[in-house]
Structure 1
Amino acid sequence: MKLTFYKYQGTGNDFVMIDNRTDFFPKKNIQLIERLCDRRFGIGADGLILLENHPQYDFKMVYYNSDGNESSMCGNGGRCLVAFAKQMGVISDKAEFEAVDGYHFATINADNNVALQMKDVDAIKNETNYTFLNTGSPHHVALISDLETLDVKSEGSKIRYSDLYGNAGSNVNFVRQISNDTFAIRTYERGVEDETLSCGTGATAVAIAMHQTGKTKNNTINIKVQGGKLKVKFEENNGNYTKVFLIGPATFVFEGTINS
């Protein structure tokens, strides 16, 4: 079967997009999804996303990591899916959709800059050396001084597979503060099992963690990722973070067909 696909990237976090509104894609075929995401034997991507019909909202998002398994929420993937839905004529400049973590709202402008509303956050675990929170996906956040030289794959893997998080694991973010409202981050993503150039739920987690721990008083945070720049906005009241938006570019790269 020839499979039509579309490739998108959001600050270097790249995805294979498939229009599955006719429900043709074999969603249980882990090996197929893994092969499509393979950078040598397939298309190459950090994940694969299906655009599907939804009875109430504009569409449904189904997300798979590059290991072929369905995963928790992906912020950059959600932003890219909004741009893909616009390309497919499903939406114009606003979107309401359902992902694995529930309802999302987004806006997209003429430059394909997408502002995606993330889930509210009210449970944040602050420890001496790290902060843990869930922004649609679980995230370990740690401030370090040697961000540029750090072996993210090695150090991130140790934490991801440590006794802290058991079999489920966690994404791991290493952070360096640049100014009162700007932070540089590098992220190890579970499911990819490596560093990615960007992680949207990770950028969101870092912004909230830095605010919660008093590293910044701003509620608009600039996040410098390996693949570009993201912005996170939120409102906070007594440790409850609401109206959380992840903002950044979502770029169409190419489309094609592949034998599946």
Structure 2
Amino acid sequence: MRVEFTKMHGLGNDFVVIDDRADRLPAFTPERVRMLADRHVGIGCDQFILLKPSADATCRMVIHNADGGEVEACGNASRAVGLLLGEPATLQTLGGTIATRPDSAGISVDMGEPRLGWDEIPLAYAMDTLAMPLGWDELEQPVAVNVGNPHAIFFVPDCDAVPLEQLGPQIEHDAVFPERVNVNVATVVGRETIRLRVWERGVGLTRACGTGACATAVAAMRRGLTEREVTVILPGGPLRIGWGADNRITMTGPATVSFRGSFAWDDFA
């Protein structure tokens, strides 16, 4: 059996997308996902995306990180799937149902409402999520935000100077985050601009993270550092993030098809 896929990316955050809305394929185990995601022996990707049928949405989007683990949300992948579907759509995810639509700047995604309570992140125990009384070396007092998946955001003078490849895995696996966490280091450039780098849970350093951009924008707005609409500049490029009066987050940015192909099922057993 051969399986068709589309290789896509959003600002360099790349995906293998498989459309199984006909529900014909066998289950993808974490081991098979890891092999497909491996950049040496597989296709290579940050996230593996499987589209399945849904009774309540255009489709169900199953998201696996490169380590094989299933996760709740992926903003860049949501834009990629929105591009693939080619029309306004709703996507059912573990983090909730989100809506996508084509936009002059790419694909716009209604990411829903942020979750700000300590038990919604979740954290291991109660604390102030706007200034967590914790620190890891030079990174201190993060903001915690859940936008379908958990994020810790640190505001620093220069996000490029932070050794995120060392601190990222320490924070990701800290016991205070029972479901692990995505680690964001951000520098506020002005009232409408933020620079951001992200250590993504189950992936590592990434060129772009849509949910990280959303969480960081919300964190900056909660602290009064920016306006309610900002441009978040990641290593892969910019995303426009708005947090409306209705408490819903909107993310707008590009998505791209890299190539299409197929693989033999038995080659990744």
- Compute the TM-score of the two structures, normalised by the length of structure 2: 0.87
Which residue number corresponds to residue 55 of structure 2? 55
For residues 92 and 99 of structure 2, the distance between their equivalents in structure 1, rounded to whole angstroms, comes to: 9
For residues 243 and 119 of structure 1, the distance between their equivalents in structure 2, rounded to whole angstroms, comes to: 5
Runs of 4+ in 1 over 2 A off after TM superposition: 24-28
Q: What amino acid is aligned across from residue 180 of structure 1 in structure 2?
A: R
1:158 aligns with 2:177: no
For residues 67 and 252 of structure 2, the distance between their equivalents in structure 1, rounded to whole angstroms, comes to: 27
For residues 131 and 225 of structure 1, the distance between their equivalents in structure 2, rounded to whole angstroms, comes to: 19
Which residue number corresponds to residue 89 of structure 1? none
Contact 2:16 2:47 in 1 (8 A): yes
Q: Percent identity?
A: 30
1:200 aligns with 2:205: no
Which residue number corresponds to residue 229 of structure 2? 220
1:182 aligns with 2:193: yes
Note the alpha carbon deviations across 1:150-194, whole angstroms, 9 max, x for none.
22221111111123214x2100000011111100000001111x1
Residue 108 of structure 1, CA deviation: 0.8
1:231 aligns with 2:240: yes
Note the alpha carbon deviations across 1:183-208, whole angstroms, 9 max, x for none.
0000001111x111111110000000
Note the alpha carbon deviations across 1:117-138, whole angstroms, 9 max, x for none.
1121252511152100101110
Q: What amino acid is aligned across from residue 221 of structure 1 in structure 2?
A: V
Which residue number corresponds to residue 30 of structure 2? 30
Gaps of 5+ in 1: 87-91
Corresponding pairs, count: 246
Shifted more, 198-207 versus 127-136: the winner is 127-136
For residues 248 and 163 of structure 2, the distance between their equivalents in structure 1, rounded to whole angstroms, comes to: 34
Gaps of 5+ in 2: 118-128, 134-140
Contact 2:115 2:146 in 1 (8 A): no
For residues 153 and 61 of structure 2, the distance between their equivalents in structure 1, rounded to whole angstroms, comes to: 26
Which residue number corresponds to residue 98 of structure 2? 104
The SS at the match of 1:126 is: coil
For residues 4 and 60 of structure 1, the distance between their equivalents in structure 2, rounded to whole angstroms, comes to: 18
For residues 156 and 26 of structure 1, the distance between their equivalents in structure 2, rounded to whole angstroms, comes to: 35
RMSD: 1.6
- Compute the TM-score of the two structures, normalised by the length of structure 1: 0.89
Q: What amino acid is aligned across from residue 30 of structure 1 in structure 2?
A: P
